[in-house]
């Protein structure tokens, strides 16, 4: 699928009012960093941690993940666990930001078309800032896990992003990768695109799907905004 020129697509008036981007697994492939940090922490406390358990944390808020790690044998408080994970992942990202295929290019194309973009992530601001710094100002608003009272799958984070941008949530397109994040975006009322990364994205009513952001163009986003449900898998 080819990407329509930004000026032509924007002039049709069919682009969404905003695009709301998840971060881990959607813009950047940082889930392996989180999983490695989880293994290190559980091992240090004499527990066991499987890949299957790690996948259950994908998309969760950090406090929710901390509670699951406590149940796996980590003898630290929630805040201590969160800080340990953040320290490890921030250090990894400072060495290398692993962009998802097509993510950086699509983000730039959308921003250049005049569509406001927001980051909506359950990671905390000090980690998100490392990624945002490499987006050349494409992200106008950043909503992180430490900004909201209710993490995904609650819709608060997406509703907050739309409110900060000053746009109706049902005029936005949200891009997600995890079942937890997809549930949050759909519950908010945003048109939602699920792009598979670490965990499968099964079909469900109202959810559009793609194998990769390399398949997604301005025309795709306009179709989603118009109410079409698209399956590019």
Catalytic site residues?
Answer: 22, 24
Q: What is the 3-state secondary structure (H, E, C) of the chain?
A: CCCCCHHHHHHCCCCCCEEEECCECCCECCHHHHHHHHHHHHHHCCCCCCHHHHHHCCCCCHHHHHHHHHHCCCCCCHHHHHHHHHHHHHHHHHHCCCECCCHHHHHHHHHHCCCCEEEECCCCHHHHHHHHCCCCCCCCEEECHHHCCCCCCCCHHHHHHHHHHCCCHHHEEEEECCHHHHHHHHHHCCEEEEECCCCCCCCCCCEEEECCHHHCCHHHHHHHHCCCCCEEC
C-alpha span between 212 and 139 (Å, rounded): 20
Q: How many Cβ atoms sit within 10 Å of the Cβ of residue 52?
A: 7
Residue 193 bridge partners (DSSP): 175, 208
């Amino acid at each position: 699928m080819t990407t329509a020129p930004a000026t032509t697509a924007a002039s049709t008036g069919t682009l969404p009012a905003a695009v709301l981007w998840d971060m881990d697994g959607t813009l950047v492939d940082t889930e392996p960093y989180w999983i490695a940090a989880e293994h290190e922490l559980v091992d240090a406390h004499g527990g066991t941690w499987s890949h299957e358990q790690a996948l259950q944390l994908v998309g969760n808020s950090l406090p929710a993940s901390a509670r699951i790690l406590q149940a796996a044998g980590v003898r630290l408080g929630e805040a201590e666990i969160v800080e340990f994970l953040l320290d490890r992942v921030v250090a990894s990202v400072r060495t290398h930001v692993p962009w998802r295929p097509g993510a950086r290019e699509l983000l730039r194309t959308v921003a250049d078309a005049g569509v406001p973009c927001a980051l909506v992530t359950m990671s905390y601001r000090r980690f998100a800032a490392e990624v945002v710094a490499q987006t050349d100002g494409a992200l106008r608003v950043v909503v992180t896990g430490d900004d909201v009272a209710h993490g995904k799958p609650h819709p608060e984070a997406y509703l907050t992003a739309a409110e900060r941008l000053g746009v109706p949530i049902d005029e936005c397109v949200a891009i997600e990768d995890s079942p937890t994040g997809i549930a949050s975006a759909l519950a908010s009322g945003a048109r939602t695109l699920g792009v598979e990364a670490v965990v499968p994205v099964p079909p469900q009513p109202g959810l559009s799907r793609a194998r990769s952001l390399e398949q997604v163009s301005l025309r795709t986003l306009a179709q989603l905004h118009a109410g079409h449900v698209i399956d590019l898998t």
